[in-house]
Structure 1
């Protein structure tokens, strides 16, 4: 699990947080995973609930409401819901993230907010449990001395830790060039929890780049169109995204982190439901296979001779 976002003055770098831009800092709930889980419920392109209190309302009507109260306390069953709660919570939030709000007293709003935090912490606890993170792969067995890598696997592991320098950011629990097999290597997460700017091209297949015209409500999702540049961590640190920055001194550091995105874990990086399933890689889905990822690292500094070169993901 990612640590709470913090700035290491010695390394001059940020560590922790969740999301590609680290904005789920974990500072408020002391859990980056919990704060990340609070994003989807009211996101207009995810669950689309109009009010965070609707999560508490849904919980109160769920089959496990009694269990929630047993674990988290009586706040959930103490809330007096308005008569139109079901109608309100069934109205999706608009594209501009505006939707109807439940009419609650100050006390009930505070209870609903507390339930929303408890809900998030419960998700984080589940995500950290052995049921989700079992660390039961062959690689984990190898580190524990209970399995042997094939010659091909051992070659890949040596390449990962050595010449390819993957281990520089995606920490495998070993120093570069090491071979593994010590207690300190148990359950590596294959990330250093920092951020990097890889010079990745824009993914113009993303609809967002083309949403520069008003919708039926007059809302323009991306006024900049194709000119939009995702500044990643820098945008979050600048405060321009509307997400509170825990430490105001971080704002002056924003330009140094423009274009950087969080280094993800490589755990289960090629896990697919079936062999022909196409996964998207990198923060914007620009690359569609691990082979393309390797080609990108090998050729990203070689400019293509022509625009729209067919070899853009192979040799340039």
Structure 2
């Protein structure tokens, strides 16, 4: 049994215990649809074979991202099968608007925005062979029919939800229920020091306050990670190419050659090479917990992230044959960008921040972590 399968069973057991003891773990009282979504989200029996749930790659303990921080991308229920993109946070994803390909491309789910909204996104992993590995919608619904929450599924999705003729309708209902759960306070807590600061219940330290000024000023973070939204989730919901290099570490090293990820450019609703290499601006809520960073997990720490933004254009190039495996990666060199043609050079690359200023920006971002009690 893989580590991810073991973790999946543990998450399911924890969720079951929380359900037994009054379902009071979350501040928000759940509707039947939201409760169904929660049950499905934590159910490790919905993969093939059993052992992986949505929570296996979107663990509440790490900001609803993958808890395996030793890998840049997630391993599926079948050991040795990996996706090619880092698992984004499911928390706060509800605030991303529906994908819009016109008038300034923005919104959507997945790194390339190819799922219009959370409901569409929730339909994908169950049938992806490198994730939960089911072969059909009917297979997923048949497993739910055997679950302890089958009667709740019929309550929410209809008394004939398990009739084979209603498979597509039931599958869509399942996905909508997951999206409903992902819209609750279980994933969107707004309980960070930053939130307390906005409410006048926390005073930023001098270092955090310096970071706040840099974040909106010479650090240029707020250009893409907008800090003026209501609510503040620190994203412009748009897509950018910041010049990230190819990730050559395992499991990418199993691929020969390592494919170039064109991102937004091959989104089926876009298909425009002028958008190649652009990826969604993630929110920064709980960013302290959500490493590794970027669509391919190539940056491992917040210090690396901020240093990349600050020095991408001024450090020496890494050895081309080594790329991010160069011992100097992130300290004395950066590899060439994977797709230089569409790279943003206006707000990334040579910010002129000192080491202390980089640390201040990080200190400010650490105030975005939920769980602070004033």
TM superposition score normalised by structure 2:
0.59
Match for residue 188 of structure 1?
232
* Counterpart for residue 122 of structure 2: 37
- Cα distance, 1:206 vs structure 2: 4.2
The yes-or-no answer on 1:55 pairing with 2:140 is yes
Q: Given the alignment of the two structures, is residue 20 of structure 1 paired with residue 111 of structure 2, yes or no?
A: yes
Contact 1:196–1:263 (CA under 8 A) maintained in structure 2: yes
Answer whether contact 1:296 1:314 (CA < 8 A) is retained: no
Partner of 1:233: 264
Distance, in Å, in 1 between the alignment partners of 2:194 and 2:311 is: 29
* Preserved CA contact (<8 Å) 2:264 2:279: yes
1:261 maps onto 2:279 in alignment: yes
Q: CA deviation at 1:304?
A: 2.4
Query: Cα–Cα, structure 1 residues 306 and 60, in superposed 2: closer, same or farther, change >3 Å?
Result: closer
Structure 2 gap ranges (5+): 1-93, 334-374
Q: Does 1:46 align with 2:107?
A: no
CA deviation profile, 1:32-83 (whole Å, cap 9, x unmatched): 1111111111111211111122221111111111112212222324x15xxx
The residue number in structure 1 matching 2:173 is 118
Coordinate RMSD, CA, aligned = 1.9
Q: Specify the SS of the correspondent of 2:105.
A: strand
- 1:295–1:315 Cα contact (<8 Å) kept: no
Indicate the residue corresponding to 2:214 in structure 1. Answer: 159
Offset at residue 187 of structure 1 (A): 2.9
Q: Partners in 1 of 2:197 and 2:149 — Cα distance?
A: 39
2:182 pairs with 1:127: yes
Tell me, in whole angstroms, the C-alpha distance in 2 between the residues paired with 1:22 and 1:306. Answer: 31
CA distance in structure 2 between the partners assigned to 1:70 and 1:16 by the alignment: 32
Q: CA deviation at 1:17?
A: 0.6
Q: 1:122 to 1:305 in 2, by over 3 A?
A: closer
> Is the CA contact 1:41–1:55 (under 8 Å) kept in the aligned structure 2?
yes
Secondary structure in structure 2 of the residue aligned to 1:172: coil
Equivalent residues of 1:230, 1:259 under 8 A apart? yes
1:71 aligns with 2:156: yes
Counterpart in the other structure of 1:313: 330
Q: SS in structure 1 opposite 2:161?
A: helix
Q: State how far apart, in whole Å, the 2-side matches of 1:119 and 1:171 are.
A: 33
State how many pairs are aligned: 234
- What's the counterpart of residue 249 of structure 2? 205
Q: Which has the higher contact order (CA 8 A, sep 6+)?
A: 2
Q: Distance in 1 between matches of 2:318 and 2:143?
A: 54
Residue 317 of structure 2 corresponds to residue 294 of structure 1 = no
The structure having more radius of gyration, on CA atoms, is: 1
Query: 3-state SS of the aligned residue for 1:292?
Result: helix
Residue 186 of structure 1 deviates from its aligned partner by 4.5
Structure-2 change in CA distance of 1:136 and 1:196 (3 Å)? same
Shift of 1:115: 1.0
Kept in 2: contact 1:190–1:265 (CA 8 A): yes
CA–CA distance in structure 2, aligned partners of residues 72 and 193 of structure 1: 32
Structure 1 residues 186 and 143 mapped into 2: Cα distance closer, same or farther (>3 Å)? farther
User: Residues 209 and 52 from structure 1, CA distance in 2 versus in 1: closer, same or farther, beyond 3 angstroms?
Assistant: farther
> What do residues 194-237 of structure 1 show as CA deviations (whole Å, max 9, x unaligned)?
1100110000114345334xxxxxxxxxxxx13x211100012x
In structure 2, how many angstroms separate the alpha carbons of the residues matched to 1:292 and 1:6?
32
How far off is 1:145 after superposition? 2.3
Query: Does residue 168 of the first structure (1) align with residue 185 of the second (2)?
Result: no
Any unmatched runs of 5+ in structure 1? 26-31, 81-107, 174-184, 213-224, 240-244, 273-278
How far does the alpha carbon of each residue in 1:160-209 deviate from its partner, in whole angstroms, 9 at most, with x for none?
A: 11110111111112xxxxxxxxxxx5431111111100110000114345
Residue of structure 1 in register with 2:12 after alignment? none
8 Å contact kept, 1:16–1:194: yes
Q: CA–CA distance in 1 between the matches of 2:144 and 2:160?
A: 11
